[in-house]
């Protein structure tokens, strides 16, 4: 029997709300803004690349979350997040913006559905996050929407908007 608490509901609500905000940020961009360089440390990413990153990172979070829920360790020892991110973004380069937006919508719904199926007791399970190391499932799923918030702030900053939203 699935037991859900207010904490559980809050995570799902924040995933939905922050996902909607991120999608709105992307959907408000002009065609020219999609080609704006947003990151230059390591690989050079445009805002379109960042959208691809959001899709691939969330899919990987789902994968590791399921692994931990099934008794696994999560991300493997020695996981190199920059290599993963750059390979994934390159692998999605041929997808159109509209395809990537649809991917992000579907991926977020999959995440919300995954969280809906987690029993509260399982939120305490621990595993390895690809960047932050050992943490609980609850913390990992909170990081998904915080990851969205961080990158949305970076988009606003590079386009000259407020970073206090």
- pLDDT per residue over 5-35, tens digit each? 777 899 999 999 999 999 999 999 999 999 9
The more confidently predicted of residues 85 and 162 is 85
27: DSSP letter: H
pLDDT computed for residue 43 by the predictor: 85
pLDDT band at residue 162 using 50, 70 and 90 as cut-offs: low
d(CA 159, CA 131): 27
pTM over 0.95: no
Work out the angle between the directed axes of helices 81-91 and 47-69 (0-180°, nearest 10): 120
- Going 139 to 51 to 67 to 111, the CA torsion angle's sign is positive
pLDDT computed for residue 7 by the predictor: 78
Q: How is residue 17 written in tokens?
A: 């709300």
Least confident segment among 142-146, 151-155, 160-164? 160-164
pLDDT computed for residue 86 by the predictor: 94
pLDDT digits (tens, 9 = 90+) for 79-126: 999 999 999 999 999 999 999 999 999 999 999 999 999 988 899 999
Total Cβ atoms within 10 A of residue 123: 20
């Amino acid at each position: 029997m699935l037991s859900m608490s207010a904490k559980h509901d809050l995570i799902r609500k924040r995933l939905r709300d922050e996902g909607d905000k991120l999608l709105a940020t992307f959907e408000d961009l002009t065609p020219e803004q999609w080609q704006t360089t947003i990151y230059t440390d390591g690989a050079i990413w445009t805002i379109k690349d960042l959208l691809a990153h959001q899709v691939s990172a969330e899919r990987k979070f789902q994968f590791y979350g399921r692994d931990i829920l099934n008794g696994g360790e999560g991300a493997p020892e020695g996981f190199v997040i920059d290599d993963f991110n750059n390979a994934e973004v390159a692998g999605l380069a041929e997808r159109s913006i509209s395809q990537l937006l649809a991917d992000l919508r579907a991926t977020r719904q999959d995440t919300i559905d995954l969280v809906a199926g987690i029993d509260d007791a399982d939120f305490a399970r621990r595993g390895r996050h690809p960047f932050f190391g050992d943490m609980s499932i609850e913390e990992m799923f909170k990081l998904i929407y915080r990851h969205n918030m961080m990158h949305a702030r970076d988009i606003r900053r590079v386009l000259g908007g407020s970073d206090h939203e």
